[in-house]
Amino acid sequence: MKIFPAIDIKDKKCVRLIKGDFDNKTEYEASPIDQAGKYKDHGFKNLHIVDLDGALTGKTINLNIIKKIVNKYDLKIEIGGGVRNFDSIEKYIDVGVEKVILGSAAIKNKEFLKEACNKFSNKIALGLDAKKGNLSISGWKENLNIKTIDFLKDVKDHGASRLIYTDIDRDGTKESPNFEETLRVAEVSSCPVIISGGVSSINDIKKAKELRNKNIEGIIVGKAIYDGDIKLEELVKELDA
């Protein structure tokens, strides 16, 4: 089971949003680079990063921060947030990230997703963010009348190497992930799925591990770490248990 500690970057700071609301955010003292170092020191190998500035602007605003993290700590990083063209994908791959997450741009343009997967083989992750089963895009500001499952059926053969499924209503709430819906997504997906949104305790991690044989590759943990609900010493044990 891969565990992805999360870093969300806004204005060069680590932040967490509640249900994706930019007006409802918590800022944390540690810089993104220092936070990544803390994860590395504890033994984590994977890292989930969202460039919230990128999500709002469509530009690789925090590319230099990502580059410094890759160079300094040799972590396997998946990065998302406003990646809308091949140039942005290439910039991230060139600095050494493992996966680039395509969200809104892939949902708006399925052909872009397909071409990106062909052009950057095994480097593209598909990020699907949903509210009550319907997809949301543009930093969760725009809710679509498109069922997650229906969209996934249309693009399952496009070549994404990973799927990150986030239930927006759970994200940042620490109410536990939507395991039930994530499993439905995993059944349809042709690539392994990462659980995202709402992790509240180590019990959520243990439950995720029980789903490893159901096309579940890992889980993202964010606010519960920052708020001290899950200790890193406790969490890292689940990597090897």
* Cβ proximity of 143 and 134 under 8 Å: yes
151 DSSP β-pair partners? none
3-state secondary structure of 92: helix
Is residue 157 annotated as a catalytic residue, yes or no? no
Q: Which of 8, 167, 171, 204 is catalytic?
A: 8
Strands 134-137 and 124-131 turn out to be antiparallel
Q: Show the tokens assigned to 7.
A: 């870093």
Q: Show the tokens assigned to 157.
A: 């053969």
3-state secondary structure of 211: coil
For residue 207, the one-letter residue type is: K
Is residue 8 annotated as a catalytic residue, yes or no? yes
Helix axis angle for 179-188 and 148-155, nearest 10°, is: 20
Query: How far apart (Å, rounded) are the C-alpha atoms in residues 187 and 200?
Result: 24
Q: Which of 51, 129, 171, 204 is catalytic?
A: 129
Query: How far apart (Å, rounded) are the C-alpha atoms in residues 51 and 58?
Result: 10
List residues with catalytic annotation: 8, 129
